[in-house]
Amino acid sequence: MVGGHHYYVYMLASRLGGTLYIGVTNDLLRRISEHRLGIGSRFAARYEVHRLVYYELFDDVEQAIHREKQLKRWNRAWKIRLIEEQNPDWGDLFPGLV
């Protein structure tokens, strides 16, 4: 949206049911591109966690950071349920961003 900043909390997966990574950014397209180039994080690069399977949009950076921390504390089953409510096949959402 024009005139405002946006922040994203996102989850990446290595594959369907695979390793998960949770992050926060103000530029989702750039950040996922970095992950795919292996420069997003050592963890994501090591475990090939590049598939964008879930994201949420926030107008407030503090809310986004709070949500990221909340999701990181969740157990794996809750994270999987959240992904599958929106993206049951764990499809890569990245192509829809570009």
In the chain, what are the domain boundaries? 7-96
Q: What is the pLDDT of residues 34-44, one digit of tens each?
A: 999 999 799 99
Q: What is the pLDDT of residues 17-32, one digit of tens each?
A: 999 999 999 999 999 9
Distance of CA 10 to the CA centre of its chain: 2
Q: Cβ–Cβ contacts within 10 Å for residue 20, how many?
A: 19
Q: E-assigned strands of 6-76?
A: 7-13, 20-25, 51-58
Q: E-assigned strands of 1-98?
A: 7-13, 20-25, 51-58
Mean pLDDT confidence for 34-56: 94
Topology of the domain covering 7-96: GIY-YIG endonuclease (3.40.1440)
Q: Are 42 and 83 a contacting pair, CB within 8 Å? A: no
